Amino acid sequence: DKARFPVPAEVKEELIKKYPSKVARKRTKQIVINHPDPESMPEIGANVRTVPGIITQRGCTYAGCKGVVLGPTRDILNITHGPIGCGFYSWLTRRNQTRPPEETDENFMTYCFSTDMQEDDIVFGGEKKLKQAVQEAFDIFHPKAIGIFSTCPVGLIGDDVHAVAREMKEKLGINVFGFSCEGYKGVSQSAGHHIANNQLFKHVIGNDDTPHPEKFKINLLGEYNIGGDAFVLEDLLERCGIKLVATFSGNSSYDAFANSHTADLNAIMCHRSINYVAEMMEEKYGIPWIKVNFIGAESSAKSLRKIAAYFEDAELMERVEQVIAEEMAKVEEVRSEIRSRCEGKTAMLFVGGSRAHHYQDLFREIGMKVVAAGYEFAHRDDYEGRRVLPNIKVDADSRNIEQLTVEPDPERYRPRKTEAERQRLKEQGFEFSDYEGMMSEMERESLVIDDISHYESEKLIEIYKPAVFCAGIKEKYAVQKMGVPCKQLHSYDYGGPYAGFEGAINFYKEIDRLVNSKIWGYIQAPWQKNPEITATYAVK
Ligand code: CFN
Ligand code: HCA
């Protein structure tokens, strides 16, 4: 069977051969055959505009700002300024969960607030209606903060959401801020992350200086509590004796954001969506950032050790080792059995801007092989694991989004480590600000495809017949109709949590159930298997 395993160069050829030559030229840069070592790693085209007419998996800037970054915060009242559909679509479909500490604490996530723009507002302007909406929300809910999110028509007609925000902030005496996150900006939801990060930094982070007495204080950046992932991590960190000041933005609150600059370290899960906050906090307050990955048991252990290593405290390291040992024993029990059933099977992952990379660890742990993977909207950094400066010629994100200039805050800048301490840690192999990407961890000759099209996915599935294809809701049923199970790595298909050790166990079980089910063999209906039956009816 090995001899018949597809040749990557031929597969690539097959994927682009039906495209018009101009489109093929574009797509060929975004489809690469992997070489994991930095010297021979190919450059990949990423964060570029999707060719119109191609069916992409991508979402919009509004989704990245309102849905992704701000969506999981329970007590900022988020108003969508625009058509009702934009508000409805971004209303909890992402399965970000929240758990207010007290029953009386505010939680607006169960509501969907929108100005429900109509034709009249498009013709005569929607600012009046927006002011009314902010006033009404204030009168009913008395929130601490209100966020206003722009959809496509807002930019087209020129409503000034920031002027409305300023006016209402003054009038109501609460924090009101707007986001110019019109859906059409940039090339994907990635632009929305950047806009969200900028505004959080300008309007919220640093508003509350209350210090915490704990010894080891961190923020978790880029963890959104999908399917309860953040709950697992909160528990893990607590057992290790690490104080979590704020999570951006799973199970989060306005006050935690406002106070997050009091932490000692920023640990980043999803670098793609929140790196801007990390960079700006380092610049202004002197907080360093490191990358962590709590997807996969091995990665979780590694990440806990990395956080402990930063603090250089023997007691903390010992506690972390104890927690890892307890958890690994539970993981091992399940993993070895499942591995025996999944070993050698193949997987493909085409998801977002970080999960297509992070989830590969889970598959590796049960012996499965990733033959192809790619992001929807990540940048070259996230693939190649090296800092790549934005290319303003092709990079629509950087043309549309303001780069904030951030200066050290003389009153509050506190370098968390001296230069000598940083140097010593580095010499021990500790990595600050590393860009660790997908390609160095994938096998040689595996396929890496950016912004994969629906057509290319179908071709890949036909050629490889993978045991599982990981994607989102738009792909799921098209894939399953081809007889291949599709695991959603966005919403987890009602499952999860998948983070941490507990999450790894859940994921192994889920994949075992999917790839070893006989049902996929029954996907052809009887009349497809026996076309003569149709023929008999046809002549009658
Ligand atoms: S939760 Fe995150 S982990 S934030 Fe980002 S890049 Fe999306 S919503 Mo869908 S699941 Fe996905 Fe990532 Fe970061 Fe989620 S892989 S596409 S914008 N994403
Ligand atoms: C988004 C959100 C999304 C969509 C998921 C999917 C999510 O991009 O607007 O396509 O299944 O995770 O909810 O990425």
Q: Is residue 94 flagged as an active site residue? A: yes
User: What pLDDT, on the 0 to 100 scale, is given for residue 537?
Assistant: 59
Average pLDDT over residues 283-307: 98
Q: Which atom of ligand 2 is nearest to the CA of 226?
A: 12
Helices (H), 401-446: 419-427
Beta bridge partners of 44: none
Minimum CA distance residue for ligand 1 atom 8: 68
pLDDT digits (tens, 9 = 90+) for 100-116: 999 999 999 999 999 99
Q: How far apart are CA 345 and CA 513, in angstroms?
A: 13
Is the pLDDT at 532 greater than 70? The verdict is no
Omega within 30 of 0 (cis) for the link into 249? yes
Distance 31 CA to ligand 2 centre (A): 22
> Please, which pLDDT band fits residue 436 given cuts at 50, 70 and 90?
confident
Q: Is the CB of 58 under 6 A from ligand 2?
A: no
Confidence of residue 338 (pLDDT cuts 50, 70, 90): very high
Q: How far is residue 517's CA from residue 273's CA, in Å, rounded to a whole number?
A: 35
Q: pLDDT digit string (tens) for 312-334?
A: 999 999 999 999 999 999 999 99
Among all bound ligands, the one having the nearest atom to the CA of 493 is 2
Asked if residue 153 has a cis previous peptide bond (ω within 30° of 0), the answer is: no
For ligand 1, atom 6: residue with the closest CA: 353
Judging by beta carbons within 10 Å of its beta carbon (0-12, 13-18, 19+), is residue 343 exposed, middle or buried?
Answer: exposed
- pLDDT tens digit string along 475-524? 999 999 999 999 999 999 999 999 999 999 999 999 999 999 999 988 88
How many CB atoms lie under 10 A from the CB of residue 34? 23
Task: Enter the tokens of residue 103.
Answer: 């029953």
Report d(CA 367, CA 47) in Å as an integer: 31
Paired tokens of 215:
């010894």
- Ligand 2 neighbour 93 (Cβ under 6 A): yes
Mean pLDDT of all residues in 342-354: 98
Tokens 């040992």 identify what position? 325
pLDDT number for residue 224:
98
Q: What is the DSSP string of 86-109?
A: HHHHTSSTT-B----SSTTS---T
Give per-residue pLDDT as tens, 194-253.
Answer: 999 999 999 999 999 999 999 999 999 999 999 999 999 999 999 999 999 999 999 999
Q: Which of 55, 67, 123 is nearest to 376 (CA)?
A: 55
**Does the pLDDT of residue 538 top 60, yes or no?**
no
User: ipTM, 2 decimals?
Assistant: 0.98
Model confidence pTM above 0.90: yes
CA of 150 to the centre of ligand 2 (A): 18
* Per-residue pLDDT tens digits for 27-57: 999 999 999 998 999 999 999 999 999 999 9
For ligand 1, mutation pick of 70, 251, 276, 354 (most atoms within 8 Å of CB) = 354
Helix (H, G, I), strand (E, B) or coil at 365: helix
Q: Tens digits of per-residue pLDDT, 164-181?
A: 999 999 999 999 999 999
Please tell me the predicted confidence (pLDDT) of residue 390: 79
Both structure tokens of 378: 């990540």
Asked if residue 59 has its Cβ within 6 Å of ligand 2, the reply is yes
Q: Is residue 26 within 8 Å of residue 40, measured between CB atoms? A: no
Q: What is the pLDDT of residue 397?
A: 79
Contact indicator for 218, 244 with CB cutoff of 8 Å: yes
Q: Cβ of 173: how many Cβ atoms within 10 Å?
A: 9
Question: What tokens does 57 get?
Answer: 């998996």
Output the pLDDT for position 1: 47
Q: Give the chain's mean pLDDT.
A: 95
Q: Is the CB of residue 61 below 6 angstroms from any atom belonging to ligand 1?
A: no
Count CB neighbours of 116 within 10 A: 15
Angstrom distance (rounded) from CA 200 to CA 211: 20
Residue 153 CA, ligand 1 centroid: distance in Å: 25
Catalytic residue among 193, 203, 335, 380: 193
Q: Are 235 and 304 in contact (CB under 8 A)?
A: no
Position 391 scores a pLDDT of 78
pLDDT confidence tier of residue 539, bands split at 50, 70 and 90:
low
Q: Is 37 exposed, middle or buried (0-12, 13-18, 19+ CB in 10 A)?
A: exposed
Q: What is the pLDDT of residues 1-10, one digit of tens each?
A: 445 689 999 9
Cβ-contact 200, 225 below 8 angstroms = no
Strands 113-114 and 175-179: unpaired
| Burial of 389 from C-beta contacts in 10 A (0-12 / 13-18 / 19+) | exposed
What confidence score (pLDDT) does residue 530 get? 78
Choosing from 46, 63, 145, 256, the catalytic residue is 63
